[in-house]
Structure 1
Amino acid sequence: MIARPNAAAWRKRLPLLLLGLTLAFPSFAQTTPAEQPTAVIAARAELAQWSDPLDALGTLKADESVTLSAKVTETIESLEFEGGERVEAGDVLVRLDNDEAQANLRVAEALRDERQAAVDRLAQLQQRNLGTRADAEDSRAQLRQAQAEVESLQAQLDNFQIKAPFSGEVGFRNISIGALVSPGDELATLDKIDRMKLDFQVPEVALGSLAPGMSLTATSAAFPESDFQGEIATIGTRIDPVSRSVSIRALIDNPQRKLRPGMLMEVTIARRQRQALVIPEAALIPEGKRHYVLIIDASDDDRVTRRQVRVGERRPSEAEILDGLSPGDLIVSHGVERAHDGDRVRLLGIADDDTSVRALLEADRNAGDA
């Protein structure tokens, strides 16, 4: 019967057996190949204009808006607009039939001329001591009365012309020539929209951080690719006791007249504007309440070092860094999940406003294919 070695004996013989295999078959002792540097894309920590955003929803109003109506009851003689066009201040939009008013004015002018002649005759007689002073004064009083009547009728003639009180865009025409109109009837609408009023509300807790003159950005679903710049003009004097909000009015320039009264706008107010150190948000490595970044040291053969940073405010795809970085520091922005503290990395490029991540990846892929 052959005796089998126990487990202790096997443990003693195993190293010798492995050594023999290594000497007999050198390929058995292959070493692990050196790891290739991790490909990453970097970004630089840069100073940029920053603010704490406050979002709200607002409604646009025209800078000036009016509904034009007649002051007298009369028929429309002519219309000087079609609707939708721009008019200047003082342009006549509607003319009413004023034949009767013109006739009354001619009667008043004839009476004034008659009384002027009477004043002139009495003045000549008085110079020859043939007329009394009382008759002359009475005649001059009647002349002033006739002149006042003429001026009154001339002023009333203006009521037969509806003019634009300011430059703006006239609305649709809903009236026709020959229609009888009365005071209060809507003849035309006029809006001044080269500058717009934007009214919105914010919570009262934000009141201390707002002031007239602060800038804001407004967007509309009608023009998703456009941002409209404005500033706060007026802050309401009262807090709504139900909603606990305060009303704000801002002014937005509208030189291309894209915006219209009544439009819904998304508003972002730029509070506490300042210079801040900014990095891509993708570069942050969160661990609980702490955040880290990987700094690339070009002088150490592109080796990365893990560093804790203190994060401030955030905005889409960017984060404000309060402590832990300096302007110009090169950090890993894409590939942070594959790189580790102390690793060497292969830098594909630096993403910035002129170079996108897509362009860097395509360039690396093309270089590999070549």
Structure 2
Amino acid sequence: MTKATKYNLFIIIVLAAIIAASVLFAKIHHAPAKHNTPAVVVTLGTATYTTLPNAVSAIGNLSAIQSTHVSSKAAGYIKALYYTEGEHVQKNQLLIQLDNEKEQAAVDSAKAQAAMSQLKYSQLQKMYRRRLVSYDDYYTAKVNDKKDKAALETAKTALIEKSIRAPFSGVIGAKTISIGDYVAPGTALATLTNITKLRALYAVPATYLSKIKRNQIVVITPNSQLNQHYKGTVSYISPSIDTQSQTIAVHADVSNPRDALKPGLFVTIRQQLGKPINVLVVPADSIFASLKGNYVMAVKDNKAYKLPVTIGQKLANSIVIQHGLLAGQSFIVQGQSKVQAGSTVTILRNTS
């Protein structure tokens, strides 16, 4: 045997040893573990039905239905103020008196003139019937009587406009004027707000369009008085949807007999949409989320698996199930965080 042949044989033997060692190492490395993973102890439960109000909730604020700036139709100086800021006033109650001496004198003069014209017209009317005066004299007296009566009414109106009265019952605002101030026509002198009935302004998602209706009952809870609730009714639904927010503006009127509510107050509104509804719910902590959607962990042949579900409204400690589970169908309610799909489980108890 030549040296070259011996050398080649040596190389072959070394390579064969290396291959054999690699195969042996791979078998040892990938050999299954001799110990078994212990089963996870879990508790099963079932989806149950509960009753929920058929309602939609929203945040809004209160606004006055009746509110105005009291102003004067006439010019003049303020002679007297007959109200205290913040007090309740009645419709037609005198609030502000402007100087009216000139207007009072004009009324007195117009009364006298109207009385004279009426007397003359009455006399000439009798005489004309007896053909003692001409028709022109009679007609002139008649026209003067009407003209002077109209002048009297004009003078009375001017006098009335010097007395500024409440257009409706309500609460008068803060004083911003004083006796002696000059008032121009149209100047805002005070604010008057009727708070016996207020209006809640809010918006609901457009998805409720087919369910919301006028005269539906609402329950209004002031954010500053969470233990107080006031009933009202829907008075307005916008004919259009806000393109940015995709919501519908809604108004609801609520009585305020004790003046506990004020315009501008933030409130929570729950609008009743119909009779209460039955929904299927599961504990909130039994729901898992993934990129493919939500699921619960269920068990079959002592193996855990993912059961896809479609969830709805989130409640205090539970979640509404829309699809994926049936009433009475079991799933893991305790120990679910310790298992994954394929895990072996031992059922401690079944609460269904």
Work out whether 1:229 is the aligned partner of 2:215.
no
| Kept after mapping to 1: 8 A contact 2:92/2:165 | yes
Question: More displaced, 104-113 or 270-279?
Answer: 270-279
Work out whether 1:218 is the aligned partner of 2:239.
no
Match of 1:31 in 2: none
Stretches of structure 1 that go unaligned for 5 or more consecutive residues are: 1-44, 293-308, 326-335, 346-370
Work out whether 1:51 is the aligned partner of 2:54.
yes
Deviations 1:66-117 (CA, angstroms, capped at 9, x unpaired): 1100111111122111111111212111122211101011111111122122
Deviations 1:225-253 (CA, angstroms, capped at 9, x unpaired): 32333332111122233333322112122
- What SS is found at the alignment partner of 2:254? strand
Work out whether 1:79 is the aligned partner of 2:81.
yes
Work out whether 1:133 is the aligned partner of 2:139.
no
Select which of 116, 122, 144 maps to 1:120: 122
Displacement after TM superposition at 1:277 (Å): 7.0
Displacement after TM superposition at 1:58 (Å): 1.8
| Kept after mapping to 2: 8 A contact 1:54/1:271 | no
Quote the Cα distance in structure 2 between the aligned partners of 1:169 and 1:286.
54
Displacement after TM superposition at 1:50 (Å): 1.9
Displacement after TM superposition at 1:217 (Å): 3.1
Stretches of structure 2 that go unaligned for 5 or more consecutive residues are: 1-47, 289-293, 299-308, 336-345
Quote the Cα distance in structure 2 between the aligned partners of 1:291 and 1:236.
45
Match of 1:315 in 2: 315
Displacement after TM superposition at 1:291 (Å): 8.8
TM alignment of 1:171-250, pairs within 5 A: 171-250=173-252
The verdict on how the C-alpha distance between 1:46 and 1:156 changes in structure 2, with shifts beyond 3 A counting, is farther
One-letter amino acid of the counterpart of residue 56, structure 2: P
One-letter amino acid of the counterpart of residue 197, structure 1: R
Quote the Cα distance in structure 2 between the aligned partners of 1:52 and 1:291.
31
The verdict on how the C-alpha distance between 1:52 and 1:316 changes in structure 2, with shifts beyond 3 A counting, is farther
Displacement after TM superposition at 1:282 (Å): 6.0
Match of 2:295 in 1: 289
- What SS is found at the alignment partner of 1:155? helix
Select which of 324, 327, 335 maps to 1:324: 327
One-letter amino acid of the counterpart of residue 194, structure 1: T
Displacement after TM superposition at 1:53 (Å): 3.0
- What SS is found at the alignment partner of 1:202? strand
| Kept after mapping to 1: 8 A contact 2:81/2:96 | yes
Question: More displaced, 311-320 or 241-250?
Answer: 311-320
Quote the Cα distance in structure 1 between the aligned partners of 2:185 and 2:131.
54
Displacement after TM superposition at 1:130 (Å): 2.5
The verdict on how the C-alpha distance between 1:286 and 1:125 changes in structure 2, with shifts beyond 3 A counting, is closer
Match of 1:95 in 2: 97
The verdict on how the C-alpha distance between 1:94 and 1:102 changes in structure 2, with shifts beyond 3 A counting, is same
| Kept after mapping to 1: 8 A contact 2:55/2:270 | no
The verdict on how the C-alpha distance between 1:90 and 1:319 changes in structure 2, with shifts beyond 3 A counting, is farther
One-letter amino acid of the counterpart of residue 192, structure 1: N
Match of 1:7 in 2: none
How does the TM-score come out when normalised to structure 2?
A: 0.66
Match of 1:262 in 2: 264
Displacement after TM superposition at 1:120 (Å): 3.0
The verdict on how the C-alpha distance between 1:341 and 1:218 changes in structure 2, with shifts beyond 3 A counting, is farther
Quote the Cα distance in structure 2 between the aligned partners of 1:122 and 1:52.
78
The verdict on how the C-alpha distance between 1:163 and 1:278 changes in structure 2, with shifts beyond 3 A counting, is farther
One-letter amino acid of the counterpart of residue 213, structure 2: A
Quote the Cα distance in structure 1 between the aligned partners of 2:49 and 2:166.
53
Across the two proteins, how many residue pairs are aligned to each other? Answer: 279
